[in-house]
Amino acid sequence: MTARLYLGIATALGLTGCGAPQTSVATSEPVNALAIDLSVTGDGTAALAARCTARNVSAAPVQVFDWPRMPYLLDERGTLVVLHGISPPPEDRDLNAIEIPMTRTLASGESLTFDAPLVPLKLHSHYGDEPAGTPHHGAAAIVCRVAHGATPIDAAARAHTTIATLRTWQQIESSPTMVVRLP
C-alpha cells in the first residue's frame, strides 16, 4: 500500500516516468529570419570590400531597409561592423531632423546582397561620417549585421516614425565574425 501511495503522489506531481516526453517542448527562443553570409572580395587590392548576403530563411516575408546610403561601416570597440540598419544615435548630437529610411519586402528564400568598400577605410553611420579614431592596418575583425522588421515603412509611415520607434522596430541578425587583412 505504501508503494501505491508514493505512485499516486508521483503521478499527481508529474513524476511518473523516466522515458521521453510524449509531446515536444515549445521554447520562447526567437528564430532567426535571416541567414547572413560575409565574404571579402578584392583581397590584397585597392578594391578590397566586404560582401554581405542576407537570405530570408523564414517562411514569411520580412521588411528590410531600402535606402541608398546603406550599408554603413562602423568601428565597434575594434571590430568593423558592416551595418544594413540603424545604429544607436550619438549622444552628443541634436537629432531633430533625422531621415527615416523606407523598407522593401524580402520574400521567403529571397536574398539581399551588398558590398562595403574597405579601401579607403571610411567609417560612417546613419548620422554622418564617424571620427577617424584609431587607424586600422593589418588584421581586423569584421562582422555584417542586417536589420529587418515585420511591418513596412513607406512614405506614410515615415511621417510618424521616430528614430526611437525605428530602433525598436528593427531586429538585427549577424554573420559570424571573420578577420580581414587591411593595407
Which grid coordinates belong to 143? 562582422
pLDDT of residue 27: 35
Q: How far apart are CA 139 and CA 61, in angstroms?
A: 37
pLDDT of residue 93: 64
Mean pLDDT by 10 residues, the chain (183 residues): 42 39 37 92 85 97 95 92 90 71 96 94 81 70 96 91 89 95 85
In a domain, 17, yes or no: no
In a domain, 93, yes or no: yes
Domains: count for the chain: 1
Sign of CA dihedral 7, 9, 15, 16: positive
The domain in which residue 34 lies consists of 30-182
In a domain, 20, yes or no: no
pLDDT of residue 183: 82
In a domain, 16, yes or no: no
Cβ-contact 52, 116 below 8 angstroms: yes
Instruction: Provide CB contacts within 8 A for 56, sequence distance 6+.
Output: 33, 34, 62, 106, 107, 108, 109, 110, 111
pLDDT of residue 177: 96
**pTM summary value:** 0.78
Q: How far apart are CA 41 and CA 115, in angstroms?
A: 9
End-to-end CA separation in angstroms for the chain: 81
In a domain, 58, yes or no: yes
pLDDT of residue 151: 94
CATH number for the domain that contains residue 133: 2.60.40
pLDDT of residue 125: 86
> pLDDT tens digit string along 50-95?
999 999 999 999 999 999 999 999 999 889 999 999 988 877 666 6
In a domain, 109, yes or no: yes
